[in-house]
Chain A
Amino acid sequence: MTRLLQIAALAVVLVFALLFAVVAGDYAPWYFAWMVGTVMIILIAAAGAVLFETQEAGRADGRDPSF
């Protein structure tokens, strides 16, 4: 039941996000680009840090640490 509620909640979020994207894309394309872009910039920076840790772990294991 809990899992079903989680899926339902995520579905609501998904529908809201899609509607928001359609409306914002029409009326506020640059604001929408900012929201998507800022999230992307944060995620890429965070992914770089996670990759750093992976490279360090690889180095500790004697694997090639280069990207």
Chain B
Amino acid sequence: MDQGVVDLSRLQFALTALYHFQFVPLTLGMTFLLAAMETVYVITGKPIYKEMTQFWGKLFGINFAIGVATGLTMEFEFGTNWSMYSHFMGDVFGAPLAIEGMMAFFLESTFVGLMFFGWNRLSRGGHLAVTYLVALGSNLSALWILVANGFMQDPVGATFNPDTMRMEFTDFAALVFSDDAQAKFVHTTIAGFVTGAMFVMGISAYYMLRRQHREFAARSFRMAALFGVISSLAVVTLGDALGRLDYLVQPTKLAAMEGIWHTTTPPAAPWTAFAIPDDVAQKNYAEINIPFVLGPLVAHSFSTAIPGIIDLEQKARVNTVRGIKAVMALHQYSEDKDPAALATFKQYEQDMGYGFLAQRYAPDQDLSKLTADNTPAVLDRAARDTIPNVFVEFWGFRMMVACGFAFVLVFAFGAYFSLRNEIEKHPWLLRASMWAIPLPIIACEYGWIVAENGRQPWTVYGWLPTYMSASSHSVGYMIFSLIGFVLLYSLFIAAELYLMFKFARLGPTDHAAPKPLEGGGPLTFSRPGYADKSWQ
């Protein structure tokens, strides 16, 4: 396999996923926020909440349409660019993707039409049910995608069949209810809630700064701030849960995230707040450490040592020796169906992936050509490969976490001042809310980078290396298709930004006229005739 093709395949998937993921979180969050707004409309009967649902729903619709278009190509990429991966785990990966298409996506797509065009055709309760079904459908889409991704991170519920050379289901429930799938689903969807809340809060802040649509903006800001403050706290909580899971099932990812080169000594093991990790020298520069924090943070214990990268590499060396035996036995079994070879394979099966890693560096990628002279070098290179890029992982993680805590602060201040009806007295917070609109999307992108870069060098952690997973295209084909995707997706992003800015600036209908600010006293949002049907 040409490494250039593998790298280009990775780059293409990374770019399409990063583009797609600029739309997904907003969809996940906006749907439930719209449902909350419409719930208030149904309960109170006040038309302004219907108008809020319709206006924010219009912006959601722009994002939804373009987001769906960017997502469709990704499923095809599994077949075109990752054919070996699709063969190896298609039995496992295909099921959740099919369920996502048949159940969640159809549910979401069917009801989204009713949501947009059914206002005058459905009863209030009926339309509200449709809005909730759209929200449920979009989040169920995320569930099945993340169940599939959960298997790549923590392969449970399937075993390798040496006769078919692929992973096959043994326990569907184990796959769906795996800890990784669960925590990742909640973390990702709630991060979407944060994105949706920041989007509504930021645009509402823009209106308030411009003294436009103030009744509309104040209510939207209030709902988004409360929606966001709980969501941002939940995201931080789930982030901690995912970190602990990584410590348990993906120790290389965790060590890279925290820049831990040497196994720690509890209880004083420090958490590294700042460092410049050097992957080649395997050390950190300019470290700023906080003692006694790492153990409780990662393992929830003061007495547990956290394995470091250098020790994990040594452990991987042992795994690789066993993995070479597994792969050689597998080759023999595939040729002559020798029961002894099968027995040997079964003995070392759990380390098969490490044998594949070593195969990359064996002469002619043939493990039978390993000798006493060349084996140590092959083992060293294979073991070194098991560590993801530490610099990217370390800083990707910190950027995401910093954004997460910033969101808690912005939402908390927003909710507090909104509840006191003093939000317009704090233009700094309105400006911060407005400029923070893209930050949750950036944090989601960093989160995706941390999750997937940290999984390297595997497509299926511990079983299938990335270098073996790609299709055997030419470099020219990959470059051509990559340029095509970049141009097309950039066009999508430009269209999204143009439409979002256009419709956000236009604002909701009937309230375009600026309302003059009167003195510095408390602001009144109510206007006669506006909330004509009171719930009280």
Contact = CB atoms under 8 A, between A and B. Distances in A.
B419 interface: yes
Given A28-B182, A45-B227, A52-B218, A65 B536 contact: no
Contact of A46 (B36, B183, B190): B36
A40 B230 contact: yes
B177 A27 contact: yes
A50 interface: yes
Contact of B226 (A29, A31, A34, A45): A45
Nearest to A34: B186
B419 A31 contact: no
B342 interface: no
B39 interface: yes
Interface stretch (B40-48, B255-263, B315-323): B40-48
Nearest to A49: B40
Interface string A39-58: 01110111111111111110
Given A33-B186, A40-B230, A41-B32, A57 B536 contact: yes
Interface in A15-43: 27-31, 33-34, 37-38, 40-42
B419 A53 contact: no
Interface stretch (B204-212, B270-278, B523-531): B523-531
A42 B44 contact: no
Given A28-B177, A41-B227, A44-B226, A34 B189 contact: yes
Interface in B348-393: none
A46 B182 contact: no
Contact of A42 (B32, B183, B531): B32
Which range contains the number of A residues in contact with the other chain? 20 to 34
Interface in B6-60: 32-33, 35-37, 39-40, 43-44, 46, 49
A44 B222 contact: no
Contacts of B49: 49
Contacts of B241: 30
A34 B522 CA distance: 38
Nearest to B536: A57
Contact of B421 (A28, A45, A65): A65
A18 to B, nearest CB: 20
B420 A42 contact: no
Contacts of B179: 30
Contacts of A48: 222-223, 225-226, 415, 418-419
Nearest to B224: A45
SS of B interface (majority)? helix
Of the listed residues B218, B227, B422, the one surrounded by the most CB atoms of chain A closer than 10 A to its CB is: B227
A4 interface: no
B525 A46 contact: no
Interface residues of B, number: 48
Contacts of B429: none
A17 to B, nearest CB: 17
B234 to A, nearest CB: 6
A66 interface: yes
A45 B56 CA distance: 15
Nearest to B241: A30
A20 to B, nearest CB: 14
Of the listed residues B40, B227, B418, B536, the one surrounded by the most CB atoms of chain A closer than 10 A to its CB is: B40
A50 B526 contact: no
Nearest to A67: B419
A60 interface: yes
Given A31-B185, A56-B526, A44 B218 contact: no
B81 interface: no
B234 A49 contact: no
Interface in B513-536: 522, 524-526, 531, 534-536
Contacts of B238: 30
B193 interface: yes
B175 to A, nearest CB: 12
B186 A31 contact: yes
B231 interface: yes
A57 B224 CA distance: 21
A15 to B, nearest CB: 23
A45 B44 contact: no
B223 A56 contact: no
A66 B227 contact: no
Contacts of A55: 421
Contacts of B87: none
A66 B183 CA distance: 38
Given A34-B186, A59-B524, 4 more contacts: A41-B36, A46-B36, A46-B40, A48-B223
5 contacts: A42-B39, A44-B226, A45-B226, A48-B415, A59-B421
Interface of B: 32-33, 35-37, 39-40, 43-44, 46, 49, 173, 177, 179, 182-183, 185-186, 189-190, 193, 218-219, 222-227, 230-231, 234, 238, 241, 415, 418-422, 522, 524-526, 531, 534-536
Shortest beta-carbon contacts, A-B, top 7: A30-B182, A45-B227, A48-B226, A67-B419, A45-B36, A49-B40, A42-B36
